[in-house]
Amino acid sequence: MTRRRKAVVLLSGGLDSTTTLYHALKNGYKCSALIFDYGQRHKRELRSAVAVAKGVSVAYHVIRIKLPWKGSSLLDRKTKIPQNRKLTGIPSTYVPARNMIFLSFALSYAEAIGAKAIFIGANAVDFSGYPDCRPAFYRAFQRAAERGTRAKKIRIVTPLLRLTKKEIVALGRRLGAPLEKTWSCYAGGRQPCGVCDSCRLRARGFML
């Protein structure tokens, strides 16, 4: 029997990360998921991430970390989440170096278990303008991973990086991903607010 390649998938419970997990599975990887509880106000996404992982019997770890310096409206409830803004510039929902932090955990995990790839659902087309979602960041992190680990050949895979939200939704549907289980809203309420960046970008994906 051929041994399946191992991969670590960063799973937030959102549309993009769920589609990315199903993409990795479709491509024959044995996946392990990392789910981060980093003090975000939208903790509802954690339940979605766990439900998605359990739905395909993927092993997962919920990693709890603290960022007490905050620096983001996702972490500081005294700061208002932007609503209906022009999707230009870097918004207050940007969490300083979040993807670098997450990828560093994933890189450690991947090296420890012998995984050959790390999948992250970053997107640089329909996105809020976060600097750690841009192609140049992932090229730089790949070089750092090669120089800073014993394994050296762990690939950082960003299958959604240059897709629109409509293309991501179409891909998720083709892969059979449970998009109805995903959560995108930043506001932290029981129902999606519909006006934060993430809700509006999600809506683009499902527009006819």
The model's pLDDT over 68-123, given as tens digits with 9 standing for 90+, comes to 999 999 999 999 999 999 989 999 999 999 999 999 999 999 999 999 999 999 99
Rounded (10°) CA dihedral 164, 170, 175, 176: 130
The owner of tokens 């140049």 is: 136
Residue 198 φ then ψ, to 5°: -65, -40
Q: Which domain holds residue 11?
A: 6-206
CATH number of the domain residue 36 falls in: 3.40.50.620
117: in domain: yes
49: in domain: yes
1: in domain: no
Q: Is 55 left (phi over 0), alpha (psi -120 to 50) or beta?
A: alpha
Residue 2, pLDDT above cutoff 90: no
179: in domain: yes
pLDDT in tens, 57-75: 999 999 999 999 999 999 9
pLDDT in tens, 150-186: 998 999 999 999 999 999 999 999 999 999 999 999 9
153: in domain: yes
DSSP state for residue 173 in the 8-state scheme: H
183: in domain: yes
Q: How far apart are CA 47 and CA 41, in angstroms?
A: 13
Number of independent structural domains in the chain = 1
41: in domain: yes
- Per-residue model confidence (pLDDT) at position 146: 96
